[in-house]
C-alpha cells in the first residue's frame, strides 16, 4: 500500500504548499523526517527584510548562504530609514524625538473611533511618560532624580548612539555592492521593495499591559523615516537609492516587481539622480512588470507643532517639483510593457495648497504615451491633473485600462467634468474612485455618488443606469 512517503519530492512540495501560510504547521512538518524537512523548509521563509546595520546585513547573509532559504526567498524589503546623527549628538533633542515617536505610535495603533476603557487608560499613562521624557529636554534636569521611564530613555540614548556609529560604519563601506552580492545568491528573487517606514498592522493596538519597558525601548530606538523627526537638519541618506540602482544594473538581478515606498524628505532636492544613474535604473527595471512608487503620508508631527515643513520660496518649490518629476519619470521610463503601474504623491504636502503647485500630470509622464505606459491595472493617488491631460489620458488608455484606482487633484476644473471624462474608459471593469479634494461645486448639493453609480456589473462602473 502506497503512503505519502512514496511520493516524489516534487509532489510532497505541492502538498505542503497548502499549509505554506501557517508557520507552525510548516515548523511541525520540518520535524517529521529529513525528506519532510527539505521539502517543507522553502515555505518557511519566502520574504526577507534588511536594514543598514551590521546585524541585519549578517542575518541576510546567513539566509542567502543557506542552501534551502537561498532558493525560497522571493521578496526582499530594503529598509532605508536611518539613525539620525543630530539626535545622537544632543540628549534633549533625542528626548523630544522619542516623545513624538511614542505619540505617533499611539495615534496609529490605537482605535481612532473610541477613547474609552483601555484606550483612555493607555493615553493617560502615555501622557505621563511623554511629560517625563519632555522634562529631560530642560536644562535643569538632573539624572540623579530620573524616574523609571526617564531611565529607560537615558539608557536607550546610549544604545542609539551605538546604532548611529554602526550605521555610519556600514555606509562608509561599499555597502551597496555587498548588499547586491547577497541578493544575487537568492536565486528566485522576484520582488524588491524599498521603504523607509514600516506600517503597524491593522489591529496592533496598545493595551495597558503593553506599556512595558520593552515596548518603550523599542519606540526610543526606532530609526527615522526620510521625512525626518523633531526638525532635524540631517539630510537623509538618499544616495542609498541611486547607489542601489547602480549596483543592481551591474548584477544579474532583474526583478519582476519593484516598489518604492518613502516619506518625502523636507527638501526633495536631496533626491538627485545623474543621467548615468537614471540609465542604471532603466536597466534594472527592464524586465519589471509591476512598478509602484508611493510617497507616503504617515502623519509625522514635529516639535513645533507643524505637520510638515512647508516652504513658500517659489524657487525652492520649482526646484523640488523638478526633482520630483524627474524621479517619477525616470522610474516609469522602462521599455517593458507593464501589468501594473501605481503612483501616489499623497505624502508630498506641498500639493495640498493650490498656490504651491508647480507641475501637473504631463510633467510627470510624457505627453506622447507609448505602449509601455498602457498597463491594464493602474492607480493614481494625489496626482495633479488638468482636464485636457485627463482627456488625453482617457483617449490613450481607453481600451487597455481595466482596473483603475484614482484620487485626483484637479487644477481649476471641477469633479463633474472629471467624471464625465472618465466615463470614456469603455473597457473599465473595476474602479476605486475618491472624490477630488479640490473640486468646484456645481451648486447642485448632490453627492456625486448619488449621481454616478459606481458598479462593477457594467463594463464601465461610471456609466449611468
Phi first, then psi: what are they for 215, rounded to 5°? -70, -35
Query: What is the C-alpha radius of gyration for the chain, rounded to an integer number of angstroms?
Result: 25
Is 189 in contact with 73 (CB distance < 8 Å)? yes
What the block records as the C-alpha cell of 10 is 516534487
C-alpha cell at 145: 532624580
Which residues are 262's β-sheet partners? 295
- pTM for the structure as a whole: 0.83
Please give the Cα distance from 275 to 283 (Å, whole number): 12
How far lies 300's CA from each of 344, 365, 420, in Å?
Answer: 18, 29, 36
Alpha carbon distances (Å) from 383 to 72, 150, 371, 438: 37, 44, 21, 12
The residue written with cell numbers 501605481 in the block is: 342
Give the list of residues 6+ apart from residue 47 with CB closer than 8 angstroms, or none.
73, 74, 75, 76, 77
Q: How far is CA 296 from CA 142, 174, 180, 262, in A?
A: 39, 29, 26, 6
Report the pLDDT value the prediction gives residue 299, as an integer from 0 to 100: 55
Q: Which three cell numbers stand for residue 355?
A: 498656490
Q: Pick the closest to residue 131 from 155, 158, 154, 103 (CA basis).
A: 103
CB atoms within 10 A of CB 282: 17
CATH label, 170-204+225-451, candidates 3.30.460, 3.40.1130, 3.30.160, 3.80.10 = 3.80.10
Phi-psi region of 305 (alpha: psi -120 to 50; beta: other; left: phi over 0): left
pLDDT tens over the chain, length 465 residues: 677 776 777 777 777 676 666 667 777 777 777 777 776 777 678 899 999 999 999 999 999 999 888 888 999 999 999 999 988 988 888 988 888 888 877 766 554 444 444 467 777 777 888 888 888 888 788 888 888 889 999 999 999 999 999 999 999 888 999 999 999 999 999 999 999 887 544 445 555 455 677 888 888 898 988 887 655 667 888 999 999 999 999 999 999 999 999 988 888 888 889 999 999 999 999 999 999 999 987 655 433 334 444 555 677 778 888 888 899 999 998 778 899 999 998 887 655 544 456 788 888 886 555 545 678 999 988 888 888 888 888 888 888 888 988 887 877 777 778 888 888 888 888 888 776 544 434 444 444 444 344 434 444 555 544
What residues does each domain of the chain span? 1-44, 85-164, 170-204+225-451
pLDDT of residue 399: 84
Amino acid at each position: 500500500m502506497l503512503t505519502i512517503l512514496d511520493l516524489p519530492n516534487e509532489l510532497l512540495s505541492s502538498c505542503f504548499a497548502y499549509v505554506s501560510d501557517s508557520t507552525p504547521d510548516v515548523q511541525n512538518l520540518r520535524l517529521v523526517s529529513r525528506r519532510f524537512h527539505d521539502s517543507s523548509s522553502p515555505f518557511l521563509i519566502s520574504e526577507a527584510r534588511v536594514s543598514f546595520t551590521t546585524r541585519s546585513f549578517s542575518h541576510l547573509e546567513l539566509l542567502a548562504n543557506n542552501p534551502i532559504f537561498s532558493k525560497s526567498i522571493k521578496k526582499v524589503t530594503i529598509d532605508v530609514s536611518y539613525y539620525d546623527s543630530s539626535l545622537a549628538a544632543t540628549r534633549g533633542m533625542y528626548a523630544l524625538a522619542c516623545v513624538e515617536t511614542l505619540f505617533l505610535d499611539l495615534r496609529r495603533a490605537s482605535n481612532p473611533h473610541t477613547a474609552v476603557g483601555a484606550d483612555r487608560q493607555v493615553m493617560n499613562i502615555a501622557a505621563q511618560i511623554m511629560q517625563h521624557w519632555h522634562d529631560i529636554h530642560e536644562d535643569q534636569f538632573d539624572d540623579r532624580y530620573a524616574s523609571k521611564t526617564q531611565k529607560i530613555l537615558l539608557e536607550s540614548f546610549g544604545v542609539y548612539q551605538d546604532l548611529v556609529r554602526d550605521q555610519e560604519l556600514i555606509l562608509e563601506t561599499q555597502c551597496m555592492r555587498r548588499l547586491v552580492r547577497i541578493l544575487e545568491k537568492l536565486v528566485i528573487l522576484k520582488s524588491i521593495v524599498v521603504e523607509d517606514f514600516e506600517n503597524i498592522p491593522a489591529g496592533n493596538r496598545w493595551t495597558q499591559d503593553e506599556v512595558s519597558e520593552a515596548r518603550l525601548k523599542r519606540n526610543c530606538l526606532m530609526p527615522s523615516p526620510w521625512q525626518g523627526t523633531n526638525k532635524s537638519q540631517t539630510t537623509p541618506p538618499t544616495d542609498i537609492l541611486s547607489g542601489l540602482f547602480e549596483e543592481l544594473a551591474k548584477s544579474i538581478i532583474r526583478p519582476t516587481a519593484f516598489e518604492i515606498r518613502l516619506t518625502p524628505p523636507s527638501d526633495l532636492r536631496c533626491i538627485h539622480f545623474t543621467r548615468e544613474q537614471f540609465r542604471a535604473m532603466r536597466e534594472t527595471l527592464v524586465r519589471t512588470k509591476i512598478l509602484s512608487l508611493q510617497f507616503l503620508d504617515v502623519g509625522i508631527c514635529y516639535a513645533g507643532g507643524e505637520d510638515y515643513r512647508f516652504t513658500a520660496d517659489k524657487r525652492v518649490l520649482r526646484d523640488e517639483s523638478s526633482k520630483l518629476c524627474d524621479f517619477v519619470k525616470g522610474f516609469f521610463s522602462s521599455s517593458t510593457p507593464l501589468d501594473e503601474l501605481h503612483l501616489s504623491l499623497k505624502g508630498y504636502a506641498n500639493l495640498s495648497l493650490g498656490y504651491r503647485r508647480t507641475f501637473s500630470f504631463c510633467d510627470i509622464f510624457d505627453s506622447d504615451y507609448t505602449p509601455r505606459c498602457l498597463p491594464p491595472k493602474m492607480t493614481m493617488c494625489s496626482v495633479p491633473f488638468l482636464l485636457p491631460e485627463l482627456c488625453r489620458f482617457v483617449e490613450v488608455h481607453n481600451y487597455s485600462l481595466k482596473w483603475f484606482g484614482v484620487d485626483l487633484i484637479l487644477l481649476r476644473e471641477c469633479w463633474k467634468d472629471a467624471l464625465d471624462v472618465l466615463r470614456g474608459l469603455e473597457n473599465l471593469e473595476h474602479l476605486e474612485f475618491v472624490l477630488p479634494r479640490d473640486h468646484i461645486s456645481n451648486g447642485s448639493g448632490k453627492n456625486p455618488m448619488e449621481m454616478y453609480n459606481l458598479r462593477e456589473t457594467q463594463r464601465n462602473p461610471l456609466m449611468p443606469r
